[in-house]
Structure 1
Amino acid sequence: MALRDTMLEKARPHLQPGEQVQAVFGGQKISQWWLLLSVLILVFANKYRVVVVTDRRILVLAGTTWSQSKVTGVLAEVPRSVQVGPPSGLWWRCTSLGEPLHVHRRFHKDVVAADVQRPAHPSGPPPAFPPPAFPPPGR
């Protein structure tokens, strides 16, 4: 089973009935660049996160220290209208989902897919008729 499929399977209990998953990707609390300083920092300070983007909301789920595919609970629920990306670089730092989240390049296509499917009008459909245009004052 692929990593994304495993993450989605573990996240299913936290989804609402009828909620459609649009993207799922993983991240971690601290950057892997800390490995250059000390492995102990990664072992004790790092926690994995699973982000599930649905048609209704974005869920940030808590993972464990050792596995990116295990889910222990919901950390944050973000409105679906939030733009997650655009990602760049080897380890992209995402700040739009609450706590900073470091996302590896292998998940960048999932972040882009989530942003492409983001609703154009977060508060509902646009009005049927445009509002009337008033002439500028002083004319």
Structure 2
Amino acid sequence: MSYINLPPTPSQGGLLPYWLLFTAAASVYNTGQAYFASWQSREVYSGKPTEMTPLASRLFGTWTLLAAAIRFRAAYDISSPAMYDLVMAKFAIASIHFWSEMLIFGSVKLNRASIGPLVIGTGSLVWCLTQRNYYLGL
């Protein structure tokens, strides 16, 4: 059985791979918060905090951990079109989720807990879209 042997840092140039590693680490931290301090998830969804049950918080944590795994892997394989598109889709899905929860469903209100997911998701998606040709050699 072989293990994944990754170098200590991404080999591709530019800052995007390092940003993906940073956001992956932040996502792992947020997963712990979602599992063990659901009050913080309720702060993100402060528009309708009663909808953020402990189960919903753990589901959100699981989704966040999956996002961390995708970002982490993409940081080391950013020149793979499939990996690049997957991480871009992940940011698009997160952006659609948070913006729709704020603008349509009313469960997210703009506050210190929600600004991060909104800005990071949308900003990272724009970054990925504008740098796609560079990282994929197109």
Category of TM-score, reference length = shorter chain = 0.3 to 0.5
Instruction: Point out the structure with the larger helix share.
Output: 2
Higher-Rg structure is 1
Name the TM-score, length of structure 2 as normaliser.
0.36
- Structure number with the bigger relative contact order (C-alpha 8 A, sep ≥ 6) is 2
Name the TM-score, length of structure 1 as normaliser.
0.36
